[in-house]
A and B are shown apart, each in its own frame.
Chain A
Amino acid sequence: MAFVQQSSPHARNARPTSRVMLWVMIATLPGLVAQTLFFGWGNLINVVFCIAVAVAAEAAMLRLRKKPVAFFIRDNTAAVTGLLLGLSLSQFTPWWVSVVAVISAIVVAKQLYGGLGSNPFNPAMVGYALVLVSFPVAMTTNWAEPALLWQGAPGFGETLVTITSGQQTAVDGWTMATPLDEYKHKITTHTAAEVLTHPTFGEGIARGWEWVNAAFLAGGLGLMALRIISWHIPAGFLGGLILMSLAFGSNADLYTPLSLHLLAGGTMLGAFFIATDPVSAATSHQGKLVYGTGIGILIYLIRTWGNYPDAVAFSVLLMNFAVPFIDHYTPPRTYGHHKARRGVPGNQG
């Protein structure tokens, strides 16, 4: 009688990586729906396109690296990277910009570093930052004017043609500055009340944006409830941002108010879906708090005093740099020991 020989534990109850990634994708759906409703078909088209390119790029790279293609594709991580890029890129981003972003995310930031688990930087944000600094005009002028899908947002066909043609002639009529940009630039010469008359702010905080952020927040809370992400990174992220905002920006006539920081731009998408990428984030609970808080603080700094508009991507990447350092200084105290043993000299893991 030949029995199965296996080392303990024999019981396992892990959610495989592929299912975790699938849940992440499902959790972005409310945000994607909100984006589609308020900004038209752009993000939906981006998402589908980016996922397809990401999976294809991943498969090609795995093949080049002589790795089992199907085995790795099934972990869904490439699809998530594509999805996150699709959600982050502006609605009328030309297709080739998306391709450059996705390729640099998958090929350079992920596979050239050794594939899943070996990348020190968040692939989606590497792709995003790369196209942002390379094609600043295409990246910053393509944000759709917030309009309900059934109230004048460009139709599916028009959006698709705009994205694929590379002819951005029609775009001008549909786009405008993002609320954070608008506020930052106008507040130097106007009062808060005057700035807020701009149509991008609408009746509430930031027309459309607030709903998109709320939807991503809901999806993120769902992930937390499913214990797919821990609360530490989002809490640190939002905590850092709130803290900085309260410390510096209490005067709305000088600085962007807290409500805008939280509910405009990519704040919630960043807090729950981007900063929480486990591969490039800190590992211990304490470390995750530090990591998240660092991102929150950097976002405020970049949004307030920086020149580039997209603070989330840069903040996440900057904190990715700090992860080995954070991990080095935040190990837990082992049971039966007096104090934590910090790091190992010569290798910070």
Chain B
Amino acid sequence: MTQLWDFRGGVHPAEHKDLSTARPIRCAGIPERLVLPLQQHIGEPAEAIVKVGDRVLKGQKIADIGTGVGVPVHAPTSGVIESIADYPVPHPSGMSDRCITLKPDGEDQWCPRHPISDYRALERDQVLQIIREAGISGMGGAGFPTNIKLRPPRDRKVSTLILNGAECEPYITADDMTMREKADQVIAGLKIMAWILRPERCVIGIEDNKPQAIAALRIATEGTQTEIAVIPTKYPSGGEKQLIRILTGMEVPSGGIPADIGVMCQNIGTAVAVANAVLEGTPLIARVVTITGEAVREPGNVEALLGTPIEYLLQQAGVQQEKLSRLVLGGPMMGYTLTTEAVPVIKTTNCVIAATARELPTPPPEQPCIRCGECAAACPMDLLPQQLFWYAKATEFEKAEHLNLFDCIECGACSYVCPSSIPLVQYYRFAKGEIRVQRAEQLKADRARERFEARRARLEREQEEKELRRKERAKAAAEAEARKKAEAEQVAADGEAVDERSAKAALVEQALARKKAKTEASRPQPAADSAEDKPDLEALEKQLSQAQSKLETMQGMLDEAKAQQADNVDKLERAVAKNLDRVKRAEDALAETRDKLAARPTESQSNP
């Protein structure tokens, strides 16, 4: 029996999974139009390699990635490219993005495929290339390109490969049904990934509320080394960090990736996609989506082509528009609401909940926090949600960051249990967003300062060089003059041509003097910027004192962190450096202004 560990916190929301497990996975068929966003995952968007009006075959690559992190997009069926334009895409903001629209011709005609029966005969890089070309990105949540994930840094050996079949979010059953019906493909995909990574241990983690999936996988893994780890049902066991903790007892270091501790997690759907790509030569053009909620008559799982509008799937499932109040993409704990049904299924779409108002009621108004600590008890990351909430609300972001705000996985367990119905996760998202903006601005400011300093250094250098050249020229001229004088004297002594020559020498001398004057005049005026608006000494002094007090605070925090050997020392050091800069700049500005003020009267006298 596999040894299991527990993680602190977690909640037990009502599962609602039986809604969508009553029927086997159905095929959604081909809708009238397919909308394929060019960006369906983390990383760079792909670029269209087809034109409007092109006829494409099923499985044909229609968009590819030039450089950077990303994967190509393929035509889910044969048809004609109708447009390449902006359409609403699945995103919490309800934004639009560039999409390729495909009008299916109904023939569903495949492009040539190249199945590989014995991938072991290939190089590992070739298999990774097949996975990339098939357009596979993680099908669980964020959607990181699978071929890149399967190639961990050279110094990181993956010793444990985890297949994440926990599926801890309520309502979602896509992975459950996939494991039940396609256990062999799941295991085939796992084997391919295991062959690439050569881990010492392969383990599939499944929550104990999926007995049929467990049974199916047990049969499929009979006689192999793959472990089936049945884990207790608790949300968020399917969170990567939590699952790793449950199955290995190890924790992913903050800010690190699982590969840092020799672990990799892959999603069930991803495994199936890998198996299809390698063994059948099929790119990722369809996925299993759970259509559920009390507003649909026939909830269940469907195999939908990527690009299928959600609307089409809802209609197939018998949506009752008059009952539908909230449309959630993903699970009820971490999913987001849709503004329109027109968005398409993409590679990461695992569930659509058409909820009635009774099912997912609007939360009661926010009440004051009574410090009950339920949120801290529920937090699977052992954060202090309550303190984070206060700091986020007070926009004291540095303190929130100090309390490990960025370790929050936004699982929503804290909000779920909050008796005061405070939307805690939203506060954390707000704080994280603000901090990211501040960081970007800081980066920009740093760059600008570096540029400015580089420019100043260059100007100074040029000035010095000019000065040097001028001196050399002057010296040379003086020497020449001396020589000429000597010559002239000699010539004078010689007689005849004296006058003529001395006249020439005088001319040269004059020319030199002119040139010198010109050089002098062309030098930049250092006091040219003195005509600025009236400097405000008081404001600058205030700025300086503020910056100084902030620096002291940060220094204090840093000292304390250092004393405790906390792991945020470098973060704080950065903050201290930043504040040091700020103080210096303020001092400079102040000194400059003072100089200016002192210089002003004389200046105005000299230049009336």
Interface residues of A in 1-15 (CB under 8 A from B): 1, 3-15
B381: A residues at CB distance < 8 A:
334-336
Which residue of chain B lies nearest to A287 when distances are taken between CB atoms in the complex? Answer: B373
CB distance from A74 to the nearest CB of B (A): 10
For A279-321 the 0/1 string (1 means CB < 8 A from B) is 1010111001000000000000000000000000000000000
Q: How large is the interface on B (under 10, 10 to 19, 20 to 34, 35 or more residues)?
A: 35 or more
Which residue of chain A lies nearest to B420 when distances are taken between CB atoms in the complex? Answer: A17
Q: Is B219 an interface residue (CB 8 A)?
A: no
Q: Given A14-B419, A341-B404, check contact A8 B566 (CB 8 Å).
A: no
Q: Is A66 an interface residue (CB 8 A)?
A: no
Q: Given A116-B368, A285-B377, A334-B254, check contact A10 B403 (CB 8 Å).
A: no
B357: A residues at CB distance < 8 A:
4
Q: Are B402 and A344 in contact (CB under 8 A)?
A: yes
Q: Is A346 an interface residue (CB 8 A)?
A: yes
Q: Are A8 and B564 in contact (CB under 8 A)?
A: no
Q: Are A284 and B360 in contact (CB under 8 A)?
A: no
Interface residues of A in 327-349 (CB under 8 A from B): 331-339, 341-342, 344-347, 349
Q: Is A173 an interface residue (CB 8 A)?
A: no
B423: A residues at CB distance < 8 A:
7
Q: Given A116-B368, A341-B402, check contact A349 B429 (CB 8 Å).
A: no
Task: A284 to B170: give the CA distance in the assembly, Å.
Answer: 28
Q: Are B407 and A4 in contact (CB under 8 A)?
A: no
B407: A residues at CB distance < 8 A:
334-337
B365: A residues at CB distance < 8 A:
71
Q: Is B110 an interface residue (CB 8 A)?
A: no
Q: Is B383 an interface residue (CB 8 A)?
A: yes
CB distance from B58 to the nearest CB of A (A): 32
Q: Is A278 an interface residue (CB 8 A)?
A: yes
Task: A58 to B445: give the CA distance in the assembly, Å.
Answer: 51
Task: A117 to B422: give the CA distance in the assembly, Å.
Answer: 13
Q: Are A17 and B425 in contact (CB under 8 A)?
A: no
Which residue of chain B lies nearest to A334 when distances are taken between CB atoms in the complex? Answer: B404
Task: A342 to B561: give the CA distance in the assembly, Å.
Answer: 9
Q: Is A230 an interface residue (CB 8 A)?
A: yes
Q: Are B368 and A115 in contact (CB under 8 A)?
A: yes
CB distance from A1 to the nearest CB of B (A): 7
Q: Are A336 and B241 in contact (CB under 8 A)?
A: yes
Q: Are A8 and B425 in contact (CB under 8 A)?
A: yes
Q: Are B170 and A11 in contact (CB under 8 A)?
A: yes
Q: Is B334 an interface residue (CB 8 A)?
A: yes
Q: Are A335 and B338 in contact (CB under 8 A)?
A: no
Q: Is A20 an interface residue (CB 8 A)?
A: yes
Q: Is A253 an interface residue (CB 8 A)?
A: no
CB distance from A202 to the nearest CB of B (A): 39
**Among the listed stretches B263-271, B451-459, B552-560, B584-592, which one makes contact with chain A, having 4 or more residues with CB under 8 Å of it?**
B552-560
Q: Are B376 and A332 in contact (CB under 8 A)?
A: yes
Q: Are B362 and A4 in contact (CB under 8 A)?
A: yes
Task: A10 to B352: give the CA distance in the assembly, Å.
Answer: 13
Q: Is B299 an interface residue (CB 8 A)?
A: no
Q: Is B72 an interface residue (CB 8 A)?
A: no
A204: B residues at CB distance < 8 A:
none
B251: A residues at CB distance < 8 A:
335-336
Interface residues on chain A, number (Cβ under 8 Å): 49
B contact patch SS? loop
Q: Given A117-B370, A349-B387, check contact A14 B417 (CB 8 Å).
A: yes
Task: A342 to B384: give the CA distance in the assembly, Å.
Answer: 11
Task: A347 to B380: give the CA distance in the assembly, Å.
Answer: 25
Task: A347 to B355: give the CA distance in the assembly, Å.
Answer: 43
Q: Is A75 an interface residue (CB 8 A)?
A: yes
Within 8 Å by CB of A333, from B364, B382, B410, lies B382
Q: Are A4 and B337 in contact (CB under 8 A)?
A: yes
Q: Are A20 and B419 in contact (CB under 8 A)?
A: yes
A14: B residues at CB distance < 8 A:
374, 416-419, 421
Q: Given A3-B324, A334-B382, A345-B553, check contact A10 B374 (CB 8 Å).
A: no
A116: B residues at CB distance < 8 A:
367-368, 370
Q: Are B325 and A3 in contact (CB under 8 A)?
A: yes
Interface residues of A in 129-179 (CB under 8 A from B): none
Task: A334 to B7: give the CA distance in the assembly, Å.
Answer: 11
Q: Is B124 an interface residue (CB 8 A)?
A: no
Q: Is B502 an interface residue (CB 8 A)?
A: no
Q: Is A118 an interface residue (CB 8 A)?
A: yes
Task: A292 to B357: give the CA distance in the assembly, Å.
Answer: 43
Q: Are B339 and A5 in contact (CB under 8 A)?
A: yes
A7: B residues at CB distance < 8 A:
336, 423, 425-426, 429
CB distance from A44 to the nearest CB of B (A): 28
Q: Are B416 and A6 in contact (CB under 8 A)?
A: no
B399: A residues at CB distance < 8 A:
344, 347
B420: A residues at CB distance < 8 A:
16-17, 117
Q: Is B372 an interface residue (CB 8 A)?
A: yes
A12: B residues at CB distance < 8 A:
363, 415-416, 421
Q: Are A283 and B336 in contact (CB under 8 A)?
A: no
CB distance from A8 to the nearest CB of B (A): 5
CB distance from A20 to the nearest CB of B (A): 6
Task: A136 to B332: give the CA distance in the assembly, Å.
Answer: 57
Q: Are B382 and A341 in contact (CB under 8 A)?
A: no
CB distance from B412 to the nearest CB of A (A): 3
Q: Are A335 and B380 in contact (CB under 8 A)?
A: yes
Within 8 Å by CB of A278, from B336, B370, B390, lies B370
Interface residues of B in 363-401 (CB under 8 A from A): 363-365, 367-374, 376-377, 380-384, 386-387, 390-391, 396, 399
CB distance from B424 to the nearest CB of A (A): 10
Within 8 Å by CB of A335, from B13, B245, B355, lies B245
Q: Are B368 and A3 in contact (CB under 8 A)?
A: no
Q: Are B332 and A332 in contact (CB under 8 A)?
A: no
CB distance from B33 to the nearest CB of A (A): 19
Q: Are A335 and B382 in contact (CB under 8 A)?
A: yes
Task: A13 to B387: give the CA distance in the assembly, Å.
Answer: 21
CB distance from A279 to the nearest CB of B (A): 5
Which residue of chain A lies nearest to B328 when distances are taken between CB atoms in the complex? Answer: A10
Q: Are B367 and A335 in contact (CB under 8 A)?
A: no
Q: Are A337 and B254 in contact (CB under 8 A)?
A: yes
Which residue of chain B lies nearest to A6 when distances are taken between CB atoms in the complex? Answer: B337
Which residue of chain B lies nearest to A337 when distances are taken between CB atoms in the complex? Answer: B254
B168: A residues at CB distance < 8 A:
none
Task: A111 to B71: give the CA distance in the assembly, Å.
Answer: 59
Task: A16 to B419: give the CA distance in the assembly, Å.
Answer: 4
Task: A334 to B336: give the CA distance in the assembly, Å.
Answer: 26
Q: Which one of B326, B362, B568 has the greatest number of beta carbons of chain A within 10 Å?
A: B326
Q: Are A3 and B339 in contact (CB under 8 A)?
A: yes
Which residue of chain B lies nearest to A77 when distances are taken between CB atoms in the complex? Answer: B370
Q: Is B327 an interface residue (CB 8 A)?
A: yes
Q: Is B595 an interface residue (CB 8 A)?
A: no
For B493-521 the 0/1 string (1 means CB < 8 A from A) is 00000000000000000000000000000
For A39-79 the 0/1 string (1 means CB < 8 A from B) is 00000000000000000000000000000000100010100
Task: A117 to B403: give the CA distance in the assembly, Å.
Answer: 21
Within 8 Å by CB of A3, from B245, B252, B326, lies B326
A341: B residues at CB distance < 8 A:
402-404, 561, 564, 566, 568
B561: A residues at CB distance < 8 A:
341
Task: A20 to B370: give the CA distance in the assembly, Å.
Answer: 11
Q: Given A3-B327, A71-B365, A336-B252, check contact A9 B334 (CB 8 Å).
A: yes
Q: Are B417 and A10 in contact (CB under 8 A)?
A: no
CB distance from A185 to the nearest CB of B (A): 39
Task: A281 to B371: give the CA distance in the assembly, Å.
Answer: 8
CB distance from A123 to the nearest CB of B (A): 12
Task: A337 to B403: give the CA distance in the assembly, Å.
Answer: 11
5 residue pairs from A and B, CB less than 8 Å apart: A6-B326, A7-B425, A9-B425, A13-B417, A335-B407
Contacts beyond the supplied A284-B376, A332-B383, A336-B256: 4 A-B pairs with Cβ under 8 Å:
A8-B334, A9-B413, A10-B328, A11-B360
Q: Which residues of A contact B (CB under 8 A)?
A: 1, 3-17, 19-20, 71, 75, 77, 115-118, 230, 278-279, 281, 283-285, 288, 331-339, 341-342, 344-347, 349
Ranked nearest first, the 3 interchain pairs of A and B with the lowest CB-CB distance are: A9-B412, A117-B368, A336-B254
